[in-house]
Amino acid sequence: MKINASQNKKIRQLIHRLVISEIQKFPIDSRKGANDLDYFLFHETRISICIQIILMIAKESNLKIRNILDVGAFYGHLLIPLTHFNFKLNATDLEVFFKNKTIKERFQRYGIEYRSYKNLNHLPFVDNSFDMIILSEVLEHLFYSPITMFLEIKRVLKPKGHLILTTPNVFSLPKKIKFLLGQNIYPPLEDFCTKPYYSIHHREWGLNEIKTIISLMDLKLTNSYHVTYYYSKSILRRYFKKFVYSLFPSLNEDIIVTACFQGE
């Protein structure tokens, strides 16, 4: 399964139009968190690639993908465009976000079922509920073992269900350079000491580590990608990175993995 740049451009245009319209009409009250618009614009490329992968898997599965769960849905930017396709959408995130009235109202507006959790060691859904689970930019925020979370994902996935996981690449070029310069690859000490635990990265992962976890969970890896969502505005830096990443894909800044639960 290959990501199509031209197709991704069309999807991105659709996503941009739909999500920007929602944000302009009904912005999230984000006084205690990330700005609704800024967060979307920063993550727009990741969201468009994820949606392209979702649609490709749905097509290859002969449209058997019906129930989708977004774990760590946050402001719902990834799910809003998916309402234009024939999916039953579900969202879950921490209780602290569920308390935000404007977030709840957004999901209600789009008919997306939203449930909160205290932590990812228990997902508030019954067994065999979903054809697909999205775990996008969540793994790096965990400060505890992800094993129980993956067991929960496996529990609520239907047999033959799919998992899409995205996370930063700990072995990326910028992080290697930081390490060589004696700089910490993780958030500044001030952020680590003062910001909410769920807003910072506690551990980042390499592709082989993710493959090991997926194998331990008896999930079958179907595809993996090294990608970069965000490039510098500097033309020189942008083309330098693209050149290096074309030669050494594993130095890209992000990882996408898809896996399938074979079922019992």
Residue-wise pLDDT for 166-214, tens only, equals 999 999 999 999 999 999 999 899 998 998 888 999 999 999 999 999 9
Helices (H), ranges, the chain: 5-25, 36-60, 79-82, 95-98, 101-109, 147-156, 173-180, 189-194, 207-216, 235-247
- Asked if the model's pLDDT at residue 36 lies above 80, the reply is yes
Fold classified for 5-261: Rossmann fold (3.40.50)
Give the start-to-end residue ranges of the domains of the chain: 5-261
CB-based contact 68:89 (threshold 8 Å): yes
Reading across the β-sheet that carries 157-168, which strands appear in turn? 113-117, 88-94, 67-71, 130-136, 157-168, 254-261, 219-227
What pLDDT, on the 0 to 100 scale, is given for residue 5?
54
3-state secondary structure of 257: strand
Q: What is the reported pTM?
A: 0.93
Q: Which residues contact 175 (CB under 8 A, 6 or more apart)?
A: 169, 185, 204
Residue-wise pLDDT for 50-109, tens only, equals 999 999 999 888 757 899 999 999 999 999 999 999 899 999 999 998 889 999 999 999
Alpha-carbon span 93 to 14, nearest angstrom: 25
> What is the chain's percent helix, strand, coil content, to nearest 5?
45, 20, 35
